[in-house]
Chain A
Amino acid sequence: MGDFLSYLGRNYADIFSYTIEHIQLLGVSLTLAILIGVPLGIYLTTNEQLAATVLQAASIILTIPSIALFGVMIPILSLVGQGIGFLPAVIALILYSQLPIIRNTYTAINNVDPNIRDAANGLGMTTMQRLLKVEIPNGMPLIMAGIRTATVLSIGIGAIAAFIGSGGLGVLIDMGISRGNQNMIIAGALAISILAIAADFGLKKIQMKFSPKEIQ
């Protein structure tokens, strides 16, 4: 224990910078994942057949082991000179995030009380006004829940992406294993857990803030 603490004392600056890298990786991939997944989820509510197909595909992606996915991407992305590093990690995280984000958005919009949707139409809202003023705000808790799931999932998978040179907290674990340094592994794992818990907590706060009071 004392050993671990003194390790932390000596290396906190490194640990901190790996954490920042990790957060950057997550920030970029989650932002893109939301920008893709939320509109797609909304669009799917207007197309039942496509919805079934896309949700099926997203489920399958989630079952692919991350190492295998990285392996598949290396030759493909090597064509543009990006076989390893930040880009394949971002792509993988976006893919893994799609299922919770799309599915929750789709369910959230579909579950909006039909009477409320009917009132919105009857009062003369356009489709876009109905989405922005009624459906998305009322679906917000579920949509945010999907984003939270995707975030926690990405924090874990992001650590594995260190194997293909994405940087981040995975590097600590990776190096710890190859050097047989217990403290490094524990520090990496601990930092990842704290990050996941903090992210989940923060997003939950945001979720509460944006939820209609009745739905909370």
Chain B
Amino acid sequence: MIEFTNVSKTYPGGVKAIDDISLSIGHGEFVVLLGPSGCGKTTLLRMVNQLEELTEGEIAVEGSSIHDLNKIDMRRNIGYVIQSNGLFPNMTIEDNVMVVPAMLGWSKEKKKERFEYLMNLIGMPPETYRKNFPHELSGGQQQRIGVARALAADPPVMLMDEPFGALDPIIRARIQEEFLDIQRTLKKTILFVSHDIDEAIKLADRIVLLKDGKLQQFDRPEELLNRPANEFVSEFVGEDSVLKSLSLYQVQDMKAKLTLPEASDGLDGTVFKHGDSLRYVLSHLLHPTPKPVYFERQEGGLAGPISVAHIEAFVREMTA
């Protein structure tokens, strides 16, 4: 879907922002570009829709090299959300969201329908906000509108530069959840910039970790956490990488890896379902007055009681 081949970028001043990066991103994949400030995330993202030129190498989107595509047309076909949301202050919310459809010459009815669909998708009633201006919205609402604007013409590819950057942690977590829900229905191919490892773990199918313009690791979050490719990666993911990785695994992963005891009396305790995160399970086990923990079984009945030792064994399996 998006193919980077030996891509390098040197800015006029001589800064090598991107150094020989090759990546292959699949259809419907959610990839997070992660790394410390100045490592080249924004540059890599902006090269895809040609807001920055490549110095070397090639980028192909859906099989065609970006150089062969008309800049204006390709940009209208790629959703773009910038860091500061970049809403146009002179336009109403409706006009902001419908910028690309308007340029594509959609009919009035089609635009209206699409606007209403998108506003409902992002959880903002269309009639309430249609005639508002961006400055009348809260920061979180503005960022949601930024996302809706990028989705407007239903582009298959989305480029998102820290779209939830300027939000407080609670609202941020909620918008992340909402966006994951949206993504589950829309299945876009997404390149998403973040410098927050927790955000990356939560959202990404795969993470691209960069440092000084060089690729450090391109892998699924649990691999990044449990099998860091080098010193920098393990430092970046942090001392609590094991804890973090537990939020990526679910009860069913543990059942698949370990043979768990059959429960004889499972009635007085907490029962976890297949999809529950192991992080919650561990949190329960560490509770000062723990109740016995059981897992629901596919065949019926329960497995357990589960102990911290099981979690330990599982983590050892996953990092082996």
Interface positions of A (Cβ within 8 A of B): 113, 115-116, 118-126, 129, 133-134, 137-138, 140, 212-215
Contact = CB atoms under 8 A, between A and B. Distances in A.
B86 interface: yes
Nearest to A127: B72
Given A122-B51, A124-B103, A215 B89 contact: yes
A212 B86 contact: no
Smallest CB-CB A-B distances: 7 pairs: A119-B86, A124-B75, A124-B76, A212-B90, A122-B80, A137-B90, A214-B135
Contacts of B149: 123
B222 to A, nearest CB: 33
B89 A124 contact: no
A214 B92 CA distance: 11
Q: Interface size bucket, B side?
A: 20 to 34
Contacts of A113: 86
Interface of B: 49, 51, 71-77, 80, 82-84, 86-91, 99-100, 103, 133-135, 149, 159
A118 B84 CA distance: 10
Given A123-B100, A129-B103, A118 B134 contact: no
Contacts of A134: 88, 90
Contact of B89 (A116, A120, A122, A133): A116
A115 B82 contact: yes
A124 B100 contact: yes
Given A119-B82, A134-B90, A124 B133 contact: no
A212 B100 CA distance: 20
Contact of B88 (A119, A122, A126, A140): A119
Contacts of B103: 123-125, 129
A213 B88 contact: no
Contacts of A116: 86-89
Given A123-B149, A125-B103, A126-B72, A118 B82 contact: yes
A116 B89 CA distance: 9
A122 B75 contact: yes
B72 A119 contact: no
Contacts of A118: 51, 82, 86
A138 B49 CA distance: 25
B82 A124 contact: no
A43 B64 CA distance: 35
A213 B135 contact: yes
Given A116-B86, A118-B86, A137-B90, A124 B135 contact: no
A214 B49 contact: no
B199 to A, nearest CB: 21
A160 B145 CA distance: 55
Nearest to A140: B90
A122 B86 CA distance: 10
Given A212-B133, A213-B133, A214-B133, A123 B75 contact: yes
A10 B176 CA distance: 78
A22 B80 CA distance: 52
